[in-house]
């Protein structure tokens, strides 16, 4: 990320970029992206927190083991990160989109290891119609490649006004999607498309507080999904940013960061 980050590796070879001191916050990025998406959050938080960003399996410089992926593979990878960076106390876990799906699955199994959970623009309990839509989108990426993913994401995530006001940020997001081995990323994408049902009904026992946020115009990680998660988790707060789409951690970073920092101040 920058010269201020220190690169660590877990025992399984996962790269983790660390900056700052204080209570620990671990960030899990979305599918087809990598740890770089968290730059606005790291810059806002590293003065008060130890921030840890890593690349998911098959993304960035993370390993891409042979064979297919399962949700459990990503939970195990995250568990190694949490174990390595719990030396100063239980961390807060923050996941975006697929990272939020992984974070849900991790918290359902290991919530006692967490001080808090933040779920941004995260999928949960898709309807049959929503599930079919993401399966069709995945098949399009398989047959037509990374540019199909870039074009589809651009159309769904950004308005014409966004493309004028945030051209540089959107170009970065598109490049994150293009970078790396797209075949390796598709292994994760298949998990993202097919595994949200694995966490449905598992969040009721969470002992850590949760912050749930999404955009009011996010068609993939919808307000309805966020409301379901907020109802399922015993100690949860919900924020819907009505005018935002999927990539609000980047395009609406000041608003997102303010809410996150308020949550962290209360629970760390």
Measured CA to CA, the distance from residue 105 to residue 112 in angstroms comes to: 13
Question: What is the domain-level CATH number for residue 110?
Answer: 3.40.50.1820
Is-above-0.85 flag for pTM?
A: yes
Whether 83 is in a domain gets the answer yes
Domain count, the chain: 1
Residue 180 lies in a domain: yes
pLDDT tens for residues 106-159? 999 999 999 999 999 999 999 999 999 999 999 999 999 999 999 999 999 999
pLDDT at 1 over 70: no
- Is 155 inside a domain boundary? yes
The predicted pLDDT at position 4 comes to 78
Q: Range with the lowest mean pLDDT among 1-5, 17-21, 185-189?
A: 1-5
**CA dist 97 to 13, 120, 219, Å?**
23, 7, 12
**Angle of helix 146-157 versus helix 167-178 axis, rounded to 10:** 150
3-state secondary structure the chain: CCCCCEEEECCCCCEEEEECCCCEEEEECCCCCCHHHHHHHHHHHCCCCEEEEECCCCCCCCCCCCCCCCHHHHHHHHHHHHHHCCCCCCCEEEEECHHHHHHHHHHHHHHHHCCEEEEECCCCCCCHHHHHHHHHHHHHHHHHCHHHHHHHHHHHHCCHHHHHHCHHHHHHHHHHHHCCCHHHHHHHHHHHHHCHHHCCCCCCCCCCCEEEEEECCCCCCCHHHHHHHHHHCCCEEEEEECCCCCCHHHHCHHHHHHHHHHHHHHHC
Domain that holds residue 253: 6-267
What confidence tier does 2 reach under pLDDT thresholds 50, 70, 90? low
pLDDT at 3: 63
Looking at the domain assignment, is residue 166 inside a domain? Answer: yes
- Spatial distance between the Cα atoms of 14 and 129, rounded to a whole number of angstroms: 35
Residue 1 lies in a domain: no
Is residue 238 situated within a structural domain? yes
Give residue-wise pLDDT tens across range 204-263: 999 999 999 999 999 999 999 999 999 999 999 999 999 999 999 999 999 999 999 999
């Amino acid at each position: 990320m920058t010269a201020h980050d220190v690169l660590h590796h877990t025992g399984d070879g996962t790269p983790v970029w660390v900056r700052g001191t204080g209570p620990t916050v671990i960030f899990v990025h979305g599918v087809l992206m990598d740890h770089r998406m968290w730059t606005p959050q790291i810059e806002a938080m590293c003065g008060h927190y130890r921030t840890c960003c890593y690349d998911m399996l098959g993304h960035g410089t993370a390993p891409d083991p042979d064979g297919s992926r399962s949700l459990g593979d990503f939970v195990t990878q995250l568990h190694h990160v949490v174990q390595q960076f719990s030396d100063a106390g239980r961390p807060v876990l923050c996941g975006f989109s697929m990272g939020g799906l992984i974070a849900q699955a991790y918290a359902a199994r290991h919530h006692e290891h967490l001080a808090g959970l933040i779920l941004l623009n995260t999928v949960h309990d898709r309807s049959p119609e929503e599930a079919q839509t993401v399966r069709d989108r995945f098949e399009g990426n398989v047959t037509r490649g990374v540019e199909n993913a870039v074009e589809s994401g651009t159309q769904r995530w950004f308005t014409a006004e966004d493309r004028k006001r945030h051209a540089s940020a959107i170009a970065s997001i598109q490049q994150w999607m293009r970078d790396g081995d797209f075949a390796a990323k598709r292994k994760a994408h298949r998990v993202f498309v097919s595994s949200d049902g694995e966490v449905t009904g598992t969040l009721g026992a969470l002992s850590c507080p949760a912050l749930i946020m999404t955009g009011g115009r996010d068609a993939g990680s919808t307000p309805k999904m966020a409301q379901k998660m907020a109802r399922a988790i015993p100690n949860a707060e919900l924020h819907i940013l009505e005018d935002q789409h999927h990539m609000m951690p980047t395009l609406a970073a000041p608003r997102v960061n303010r809410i996150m920092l308020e949550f962290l101040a209360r629970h760390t």
